[in-house]
Amino acid sequence: MKTLTPVAKLGEFVGSEVTLGGWVYNFRSSGSIMFLQIRDGSGFVQAILNKQDADDAVWEAAQTITLETSVYVTGVVAKHPKKEEYELQVRGLEIVSVAQEYPIGKKEHGPDFLMENRHLWLRAPSQWAIQRVRNTVINAIYEYFNSNGFTKIDSPILTPNACEGTTTLFEVPYFEEGTAYLSQSGQLYIEAAIMSLGKVFDFGPVFRAEKSKTRRHLTEFWMMDAEMAFHDQKMNMEVQEAMVMHIITRVLELNRPELAILERDVTALERIKTGFVRMTHAEAVKYLQAHGSDIKEDEDLGNDDETLLTKEFGQPVFVTNWPAHIKAFYMKPDPTNPGTVLCADLVAPDGYGEIIGGSQREDDYETLKSKIEYEGLSLEAFQWYLDLRKYGSVPHAGFGIGLERMVAWMTGVHHIRETIPFPRTISRIYP
């Protein structure tokens, strides 16, 4: 194989001859000059081929190029005269594979067509940029937890029972054991791990079978769950805020070219500062009603409510102390605010909705047992979870962050399906 120089490193080789391998994602010809737009995975570069400077064989090979033809290009790196970019003055060209007529052209394509051709649409600059930001968000989450004393724990994907609602589970036949379910969250399992390791997190795919068609929902997505022993809900929110700020910092530091491709208004991210807005669910309802929402006191926030709530602040908003009856069984009641639980949803600005859900967990055996019974759940299925409250229970708290919603907010894309390489929705499992 040839020794290749990545496009991202061309700035280190101005005036030198290099070889790169990539795909021609666009090209045009002006008489005796060809302009090839080449993508290699690390970035994009314009390669300029002048017939007068090229061998006849090189020029003839260039005439066979089609969209997405793969090539080796050798040339001298030059600084663009007007932009902070680099160009390649072509000296050699080798065709690796001439692409057939590419189905995704310059014309507008509908979302169904693009989803059907997702395996090819991933090559578009916008989709490349989104996946690069996604990678930064993932790495930033790992960086934050690895530098703050957390241990990565892998929770199972196949589980014997629900973590939250029982109506949104994917069932899987499981040998003689009967029915298993695809995990909705690793939370319950990593709660067990904190009794050994103190502070832990997991990161993996989770599944929700709810039949939602909104731009914020997928049936398969990636979630990071974190749990912390000897933490209350106030400490829990402080960890979440610090983690979100670290993610934003990293994206602004590493992905400005990608955000430019996506035409993301970076000032909206730059103005996010520590000290996120905090308001109770009751306060949020009053605020929303005063601004035209018909939300009721004991209702969940809808998509429009979440958008309206953050519009004034331009900052993420923690909505705390939700009514107990609309939250999960494992959340600890607030002794100072009867009927509510010690929890918070973090709502992102710009209409991106809830990105984090967290709470202080119920640490008392009898209280948790009563709640499981009240919810009509199987005590036998949750006995292992109850055991955690029998053998050295401690105050603890945790949260989960939806990766795709965070990426959607960072990139400014409208629909969450673009934030994951191969989205799974209620109407799509291909490709």
One domain, residues 174 and 75: no
> Please, what is the average pLDDT of the chain?
95
Same domain, 247 and 386: yes
How does residue 245 score in pLDDT terms, banded at 50, 70 and 90? very high
- Pair (292, 413) in one structural domain: yes
With a cut of 80, say whether residue 14 has pLDDT above it: yes
| Span 198-227, average pLDDT | 94
- pLDDT confidence of residue 422: 98
Question: In which order are the strands placed within the sheet that holds 199-207?
Answer: 151-152, 199-207, 220-229, 396-402, 353-360, 343-348, 317-320, 277-280
Residues 392 and 260 in one domain: yes
106 in a structural domain = no
Q: What is the mean pLDDT of residues 399-412?
A: 98
Evaluate the CA torsion angle 364, 370, 373, 375 in order and state its sign: negative
Structure tokens at 166: 């029982």
Confidence class for position 160, pLDDT limits 50, 70, 90: confident
Q: Quick check: is 369 in a domain? A: yes
Helix (H) / strand (E) element for 70: namely strand 70-79
pLDDT at 365 over 90: yes
The answer to whether position 428 is within a domain reads no
pLDDT of residue 166: 59
Q: What confidence category does residue 212 fall into, taking pLDDT thresholds of 50, 70 and 90?
A: confident
pTM to 2 decimal places: 0.96
pLDDT in tens, 90-119: 999 999 999 999 999 888 899 999 999 999
Rounded-to-integer distance, Cα 29 and Cα 374, Å: 72
Q: Which residue has the higher pLDDT, 53 or 26?
A: 26
pLDDT of residue 206 exceeding 90, the answer is yes
Same domain as 374, residue 270: yes
Residue 113 within any structural domain of the chain: no
Same domain, 144 and 61: no
**426 inside domain:** no
165 belongs to a structural domain: yes
| CB atoms near residue 260 (< 10 Å) | 11
Nearest to 258 by CA among 157, 124, 393, 167: 124
Domain boundary among 44, 65, 97: 97
Decide which of 68, 97, 126 is a domain's last residue.
97
Mean pLDDT of 223-247: 98
Mean pLDDT in residue range 212-220: 89
pLDDT digits (tens, 9 = 90+) for 274-308: 999 999 999 999 999 999 999 999 999 999 999 99
**Which residues span the domain enclosing 88?**
7-97
Residue 6's pLDDT is 98
310 and 189 together in one domain: yes
**What percent of the chain stands above pLDDT 90?**
90
What pLDDT, on the 0 to 100 scale, is given for residue 168? 81
In this prediction, residue 216 carries a pLDDT of 86
Count of positions (residues) in the chain: 431
**CATH code of residue 55:** 2.40.50.140
Same domain, 179 and 130: yes
Claim to verify: residue 369 and residue 317 sit in the same structural domain? yes
Question: Could you tell me if 231 and 362 lie in one domain?
Answer: yes
The pLDDT of residue 165 is 56
102: in domain: no
Residue 89 lies in a domain: yes
Total domain count, the chain: 2
How does pLDDT run across 161-191, given as a tens digit for each residue?
A: 766 655 689 999 999 999 999 999 999 999 9
CATH of the domain at 246: 3.30.930.10
17 and 57 share one domain? yes
Which of 203, 139, 200, 218 has the alpha carbon at shortest distance from 410? 139
Same structural domain, 250 and 349: yes
Q: Are 358 and 319 in contact (CB under 8 A)?
A: no
